[in-house]
Chains A and B, each alone.
Chain A
Amino acid sequence: MIIRKKITPFILLSPAVIMLLGLMLFPLAWSFFTSLKSMSLFDLMMHSGEFVGFSNYADIFQDSNFWNALKNSLIYVGISVIGQVAFGLLIASILHSKIVKFSGLFRALFLIPWITCSVVAAYSWIYFLDANIGFLPTLSLNFAFLKALGMDRRDWLTNPSIVIFVLSVINIWKGTAFSMLMQSAGFQSIPGSVFEAAKVDGANAIQRFFRITIPILSPFILINLVMTTMITFNIYDMILVITGGGPAHASEVLSLYVYNTGFVNGEIGYAAALSMILFAVNLIATVFYLKYLNPRRGNND
């Protein structure tokens, strides 16, 4: 009976743990060992590949495409995260304050881009911005004010100097609803009586915002920032469909660069080393998250 009680949890856990080990941890370990080899796609098929130590890692620092991808990731993540969290906060505060009617309807509308899967979202934007058949360029032909705003350009996705910004805006479009939900939860956690008390004490709206709203929301904002940063940093399927990283690497973010290096260029060993860098960034962020921000820490012990 005692033995049974001791092994029961392990029996219950084993299917999940076996699958997680086999399909997540083992591949990660494989990536690490492969990153120490010089291996092409051909070597992969032949199960060969020469051990080269850390030279793949040394190459990374000489690789201008890597630095370019890192720069693109910083721009993409920076604009997306700031935009999503700021707009999410703004929308949540307007909907919460009941200044506008039909807030439930608006909330549901705002969630639509977020629940749309990436590939469908990607196509809707490709067609929206397309040079010849796009809706926005066509619309700009008919409305002068759009032209005045510069909306009539036809190179949204083909101009290397703006493409990463366009993709960031698309990502803000897609992801802001998540921030809106997080911040709404924050607003709901503020008891109304706190505001009443502050009003009675003579605090004005701006004081109330900075002295009450922001401090109570700050843990929600912080968690929101970390989660959004990691999601944006790791996910690249929408960029893969819209531009594939082009034109000429102009929209290649780091996670997409790992993918392209492995599957397009066939440099398996080097891609594995790059993927370890990507993983390291995530590991640091996770440790930070667990140590300082874990919202679930309270209720599991």
Chain B
Amino acid sequence: MTNRKKRIIIKLLAYGFIISWAVFSLFPLSTMFLTALKPKNAFDQFPPSYFSTNLTLDNFKYVLFNSDWIKYYLDTIFISTAASIIAVLTGSLGAYAFSRYQFKYKRTIMVAILALQMIPVASIVIPLYNMFATINMLDTYWVLILINAVGSMPLIIWLMNGYFSSIPKELEEAAYIDGCSNMKAFWKVTFPLAAPGLAASMIYAFVYAFGDYIIAKTLAGSRIITYTVGLTLFSNQYEGMDITLVSAAAFTALVPIIVLFSIFHKYFIIGMTGGALKE
């Protein structure tokens, strides 16, 4: 009897906690969504009418069709895609070298690359600004593409090294014996087997670049505007009054990440936890 009571109490506590955490998790973002669906005048009075059923899609329409938002947005997607392609290509080439070849200072170079990842952005953002100002490349696509690619590269090298190392060398050697060239053996044998790692790296690099704010704000921001910077411009422009528009814009920014996440759930998690979790 007491045992059963105890079990019920534990069950109630567990449900209570899990449900409150779910509410806590969703509250700010769902109120932002609600705000995005409100007409502007809902926030003219105090208290604002959050609870009226007066809903509209005008804010989304305005943001997507009548403002610069869509340009910021497409620019960001372009930058993130380019950065992730560069990061994955160069990173996995490097990782392949680590996993398949023996060479001098291999261990030292590997540890150095891991250590590079620990350099905080705050420590290098001023010198990066100075470097790119000197060669007159501030406010270009290339600055953001390169720096974001480099930012995600160390982790990709480590992640891919793990994947390549888990593929037995003998498989490639068998392909040579069957008459494949070096390149062909890589494309036909190693590449498909490493594909989950590549997918995880690609997603990690994309999300890394897509979420970047500091680099985009300091090294670009007048000609090339990413959506994160655009969002702050948006809110300043309207002195915080038009929170309906900012909310609508912010909400559209969530969409690609949610889509990536729901389709590539597993690789997303492997990438975002740096391969610490391989399911």
**A interface vs B, CB < 8 Å?**
5-6, 8-10, 12-13, 15-17, 19-20, 23-28, 30-31, 34, 44-45, 87, 90-91, 94-95, 97, 99-100, 106, 109-121, 123-125, 127-128, 130, 132-133, 135, 137-139, 141-142, 173, 178, 181-182, 185, 223, 227, 230, 233-237, 240-241, 255-256, 258-259, 262-263, 268, 271-272, 275-276, 278-279, 282-283, 285-286, 290, 295-296, 299-300
Contacts and interface: CB of A to CB of B under 8 A. Distances in A.
Contacts of B125: 259, 262-263
A178 B150 CA distance: 23
A28 B276 contact: no
B97 interface: yes
Contacts of A182: 273, 276-277
Given A17-B94, A20-B150, A275 B28 contact: no
8 contacts: A17-B109, A26-B131, A45-B133, A115-B261, A115-B272, A116-B29, A121-B29, A282-B119
A124 B31 contact: yes
Interface in B126-158: 126-128, 130-131, 133, 146-147, 149-150, 153-154, 157-158
A130 B47 CA distance: 12
A156 B13 CA distance: 29
B231 interface: yes
A23 B86 CA distance: 14
A234 B254 CA distance: 24
Q: Which secondary structure dominates chain B's binding surface?
A: helix
Interface residues of B, number: 97
Given A9-B97, A112-B26, A113-B25, 13 more contacts: A10-B103, A16-B93, A20-B154, A25-B116, A34-B127, A110-B22, A125-B28, A135-B27, A138-B50, A234-B122, A241-B232, A258-B123, A263-B125
A110 B250 contact: no
B149 A19 contact: yes
B158 A296 contact: yes
Interface string B229-257: 00110010000100100110011011001
A10 B103 CA distance: 9
A142 to B, nearest CB: 8
Contact of A117 (B103, B122, B124, B257): B257
B235 A123 contact: yes
Contacts of A240: 213-214
Contact of A23 (B27, B128, B232, B273): B128
Nearest to B121: A234
Interface string B102-130: 01000001110111101111111111101
Nearest to A268: B126
A99 B131 contact: no
B50 to A, nearest CB: 6
Contact of A181 (B90, B146, B157, B273): B273
A87 B17 CA distance: 10
B171 interface: no
Contacts of A125: 28
Contacts of B29: 112-113, 116, 121, 124
A123 B94 CA distance: 38
B90 A15 contact: yes
A173 B246 contact: no
Give the one of A12, A26, A106 with max B CB within 10 A. A12
Secondary structure at the A interface, as helix, strand, loop or mixed, is: helix
B91 A16 contact: yes
Contact of B210 (A10, A117, A123): A117
B269 interface: yes
A31 B93 contact: no
A130 B228 CA distance: 20
Contacts of A17: 94, 109
Contacts of A135: 27-28, 31, 34-35, 50
B59 interface: no
B5 to A, nearest CB: 15
Contact of B97 (A8, A20, A23): A8
B10 interface: yes
A52 B97 CA distance: 43
A9 B103 contact: yes
